[in-house]
C-alpha cells in the first residue's frame, strides 16, 4: 500500500482553515500545520512534502514572497495551492505568476478541496514523468529538468510561468494557440476578460528569451484568436520557415 500523501499547510491565523487538517486526515492524507513562513521554509527544506497549501492572507508576510522563497529552494517539484476568497484579482494573478500551481477560492468546500488536491497531484506526477525532455527550435533548447533555456549555448533563467509558456509555444511551433488554451495550460483556469496577465507574461517571455527575427524565433499575435510561435530561416527576408508547424525536435539528454 503506498505511503499517504504528505501535505504542509501554512494557515497563518486564519480560523476557517482549522478544520483542514482533520479533513485531510479523514481523506487519508498526512498534514503538518505551520503557523509562520519561517517555520514552513525550514520544514519543507528538511522533510519530504508532496504538496503545500497556503492561505493568501498572512500576518506580517506576503504569501507571494513565501511562494518565491519555496520556489528558489525547491524549484517546481513541490506543488503549491493557494487558499483564499479570490476577491483580489491582481493578488491572485501575482500568486500564480510567482509559482503557485492552483488557487482555490472560498467559501471552502471539502469535496472541491480534495478533488483539486487529487487533480494537482496527478498533474505534478505527469510533469515528473516528462522530466528529461529537451525541446529544440532554431538556436534554442528548453530543458525540462533544470527548467531553463539555452540560446546558442548560453543559459537563460526563466520564471516558472515563463518556462511553462515557452514549453507550450515551442512545442506547438507554427500553430495558433487560442488564449483560452494558453490560460488553461499556464494558470489552469481562464482569466477574466479584461485581464492583462497573459499579454504581460508574453511580453516578458519575448524579452527574457530575446525572441526576434534576429534570433530566428518570434511570437506573432493572431488578432482575436491567440498567439503563434514562428521559426524563421536565415535568408535576408526572414521568410517563415516552411517547416514551422511540423513536429518539433525531441531528445533526452
Query: Looking at domain 6-129, what is its CATH homologous superfamily?
Result: Response regulator (3.40.50.2300)
| DSSP element (H, E) containing 21 | helix 20-26
Please tell me the pTM assigned to this model. Answer: 0.53
User: Among the CATH numbers 1.10.10.10, 2.60.40.1260, 1.25.40.420, 1.10.3720.10, which is that of 134-251?
Assistant: 1.10.10.10
Pick from 21, 18, 23, 17: which is nearest to 8 by CA? 21
Instruction: Give the span between the Cα atoms of 147 and 138, in whole angstroms.
Output: 18
Residue 234 or 163, more confident: 163
- Mean pLDDT across 39-64: 84
How many Å is the maximal CA-CA distance in the chain?
66
DSSP string, 141-170: EEETTTTEEEETTEEEE--HHHHHHHHHHH
Q: Would you tell me how many other CB atoms lie within 10 Å of the CB of residue 101?
A: 22
Residue 90 or 28, more confident: 28
Q: Would you tell me how many other CB atoms lie within 10 Å of the CB of residue 78?
A: 19
Q: What are the boundaries of each domain within the chain?
A: 6-129, 134-251
- pLDDT at position 240, please? 40
Q: How do residues 204-237 score in pLDDT, each as one tens digit?
A: 999 999 999 899 999 999 888 899 999 886 533 3
Half-sphere exposure of 166 (CA within 13 A, CB side): 31
Residue showing cell 496527478: 122
- The C-alpha cell at 218 is 518570434
Q: How do residues 52-105 score in pLDDT, each as one tens digit?
A: 999 887 877 888 889 888 887 655 568 899 887 666 677 778 888 888 888 887
- pLDDT at position 248, please? 36
Task: Provide the pLDDT confidence category of residue 242 given band limits of 50, 70 and 90.
Answer: very low
Q: 199: helix, coil or strand?
A: helix
CA torsion 179-111-33-161 (nearest 10°) is: -10
Amino acid at each position: 500500500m503506498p505511503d499517504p500523501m504528505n501535505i504542509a499547510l501554512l494557515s497563518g491565523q486564519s480560523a476557517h482553515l482549522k478544520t483542514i487538517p482533520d479533513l485531510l486526515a479523514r481523506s487519508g492524507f498526512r498534514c503538518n500545520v505551520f503557523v509562520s513562513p519561517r517555520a514552513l521554509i525550514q520544514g519543507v527544506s528538511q522533510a519530504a512534502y508532496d504538496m503545500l497549501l497556503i492561505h493568501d492572507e498572512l500576518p506580517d508576510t506576503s504569501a507571494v514572497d513565501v511562494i518565491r522563497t519555496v520556489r528558489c529552494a525547491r524549484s517546481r517539484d513541490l506543488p503549491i495551492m493557494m487558499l483564499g476568497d479570490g476577491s483580489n484579482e491582481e493578488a491572485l494573478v501575482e500568486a500564480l505568476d510567482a509559482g503557485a500551481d492552483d488557487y482555490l477560492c472560498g467559501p471552502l468546500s471539502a469535496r472541491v478541496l480534495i478533488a483539486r488536491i487529487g487533480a494537482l497531484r496527478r498533474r505534478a506526477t505527469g510533469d515528473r514523468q516528462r522530466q528529461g525532455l529537451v525541446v529544440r527550435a532554431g538556436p534554442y533548447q528548453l530543458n525540462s529538468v533544470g527548467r531553463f533555456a539555452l540560446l546558442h549555448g548560453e543559459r537563460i533563467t526563466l520564471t516558472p510561468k515563463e518556462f511553462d509558456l515557452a514549453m507550450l509555444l515551442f512545442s506547438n511551433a507554427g500553430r495558433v494557440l487560442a488564449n483560452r488554451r494558453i490560460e488553461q495550460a499556464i494558470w489552469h483556469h481562464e482569466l477574466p476578460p479584461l485581464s492583462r496577465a497573459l499579454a504581460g507574461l508574453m511580453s516578458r517571455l519575448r524579452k527574457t528569451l530575446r525572441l526576434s527575427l534576429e534570433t530566428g524565433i518570434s511570437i506573432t499575435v493572431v488578432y482575436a484568436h491567440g498567439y503563434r510561435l514562428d521559426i524563421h530561416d536565415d535568408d535576408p527576408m526572414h521568410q517563415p520557415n516552411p517547416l514551422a508547424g511540423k513536429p518539433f525536435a525531441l531528445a533526452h539528454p
